[in-house]
Chains A and B, each alone.
Chain A
Amino acid sequence: MKLRSVSAAAAAAAVLALTATACGGGSDSGSNGDKINIGIKFDQPGLGLKTPDGTYAGFDVDVAKYVAKELGYSEDKINWKQAPSAERENLIKNGDVKFVVASYSISDKRKKEVDFAGPYFLTHQDLLVRADDKSITKVEDLNSKKLCSVTGSTSAQNVKEKLAPKADLQQLGGYSECLTGLENKRVDALTTDASILAGYASQKEHQGKFKLVGLKMSDENYGIGLKKGDDELRGKINKALEKMVSDGTWEKLVKQHFGPSGYQYEPAPAIAK
């Protein structure tokens, strides 16, 4: 009977798939042996991006590398983990990562669940518009405009509740989708942290197409998230961040990652003790 050979083959394939999955398991603690797990974004150019080479690039990534080095981990000892916005607290609480450097704004609500080292960067909620668009100069202009942001982001809630309640806010799954809409004139502005916007604007495919408006609609202090109560690690990271600013690395990295967009970045913020 032919059928039997078919099901046998299917079973064999199934077993193979299972073993492959089983092998995929393994290390999953914050830092096991001589490796360290760090949470970053995988899809934010300028901050944390998984490049086609399979390596990671961005300001957050370089900050994480610097801090890890100060903690005694060289670059090849780092396991990068994807830390999507909604997952960051879970990653830290479950001990999946030692710390998170992922455009992570310090807020009172988040402080209830995790601790923050830093801040290492100050940015503001801003708008990205088409380079030739002069109709948006202040927050009130938004009330008659079509605005795009990412589903569930604080920037989106900010606009809806405080800044421009009458703006037509579209929430999409990712920033690239918003950029497509912006490029095609379906939306007039994309709103989120200026650092993220600058990252997109300075990509070579986008240079000259978009510009930042330069509004300071909120203060976002990026911190490094870590397990609540781990004061020893927090102290060490803070010391590393201070050193990064004082030896000029901070300035160099900021210029490297945000320079091409013409983004007027703030000086390094003071570390909260």
Chain B
Amino acid sequence: MFDFLDSGQYDLLGAFWVTAKLALYSALGSLVWGTALVAMRVSPVPLMRAFGTAYVNIVRNTPLTVVIVACSFGLDQTLGITLGGGRSEDIGFRLAILGLVAYTGTFVCEALRSGINTVPPGQAEAARALGLGFTQVLTLVVLPQAFRAVVAPLANVLIALTKNTTVAAAISAAEAAFLMKEMIENEADALFAVFAVFAFGFIVLTLPTGLLLGWAAKRLAVKR
């Protein structure tokens, strides 16, 4: 039943490696972009606040499929943005990361915002009393505590992101879902085996993440 694994016709590990790379790079990017967004949303400059709010509300309400496909032919095919990639596969991979970052950043931002709300106001007040400016209050006092409070929600975002990498199949990034689509077409008689293999692959990718970060969330949480 699982003969297709030995045939060497399908590069399963390669596909999951692409999935893992997509997830990893996008996770780092979303963390940075989400932090920047939340900084805008709580900043003293009204225009930045408005931009942050509008961006989050618009992108969160757009299907990821639309975001990623728009990256592919809006940015690449129309505006010629290739992010330094040479061949098409390369460009597709990079644009998929860009789309995932643009989308996932909004969820990171919302998680962090709720994290900021858990930091007692006294902390920020004390920091301001010491004469710290907004940037210092945020980066030295509030955000470090907020991050520790939202490890668990961020873990959920990361798991969702790992699963969302499959949407990159819509622009033919050679990741797991794209390979599964191909295998379903060619190995119709081994359908259940194919599904089992890919389901197992994703469980392997997401389960340790959840357990590890769940443990980290407990260790890092600020005891109050």
Interface residues of B in 162-192 (CB under 8 A from A): 170-172, 182, 185
Interface residues of B in 184-214 (CB under 8 A from A): 185
Taking CB atoms, residues of chain A closer than 8 Å to B18 are none
9-residue interface stretch from B71-79, B127-135, B138-146: B71-79
Taking CB atoms, residues of chain A closer than 8 Å to B80 are 184-186
A177 touches B73 (CB 8 A): yes
A173 within 8 A of B: yes
A126 to chain B, nearest CB (A): 21
Interface of B is mostly: helix
B136 within 8 A of A: no
A94 to chain B, nearest CB (A): 14
9-residue interface stretch from A13-21, A133-141, A163-171: A163-171
A181 within 8 A of B: yes
B73 touches A151 (CB 8 A): no
The answer for the CA separation of A184 and B182 in the assembled complex, in Å, is 30
A172 within 8 A of B: yes
B69 touches A173 (CB 8 A): yes
The answer for the CA separation of A50 and B76 in the assembled complex, in Å, is 28
B114 within 8 A of A: no
The answer for the CA separation of A180 and B77 in the assembled complex, in Å, is 7
Interface residues of B in 51-100 (CB under 8 A from A): 69, 72-73, 76-78, 80, 87-88, 92
- Given that A86-B185, A151-B172, A172-B72 are contacting pairs, would A177 and B77 also be in contact in the complex, using a CB cutoff of 8 Å? yes
The answer for the CA separation of A161 and B77 in the assembled complex, in Å, is 24
- Given that A184-B78, A186-B78 are contacting pairs, would A172 and B73 also be in contact in the complex, using a CB cutoff of 8 Å? yes
B73 touches A180 (CB 8 A): yes
A146 within 8 A of B: yes
User: Contacting A170 at CB < 8 Å: which of B78, B88, B182?
Assistant: B88
A169 touches B88 (CB 8 A): yes
A93 to chain B, nearest CB (A): 12
Between A and B, 9 residue pairs with Cβ closer than 8 Å are A168-B87, A170-B88, A170-B92, A173-B69, A173-B171, A177-B72, A177-B77, A181-B78, A184-B78
Given A171-B172, A172-B171, A177-B73, 19 additional A-B pairs, CB 8 A: A86-B185, A151-B172, A152-B182, A169-B88, A170-B92, A171-B88, A172-B77, A173-B69, A173-B170, A180-B73, A180-B77, A180-B78, A181-B76, A181-B77, A184-B78, A184-B80, A186-B76, A186-B78, A187-B77
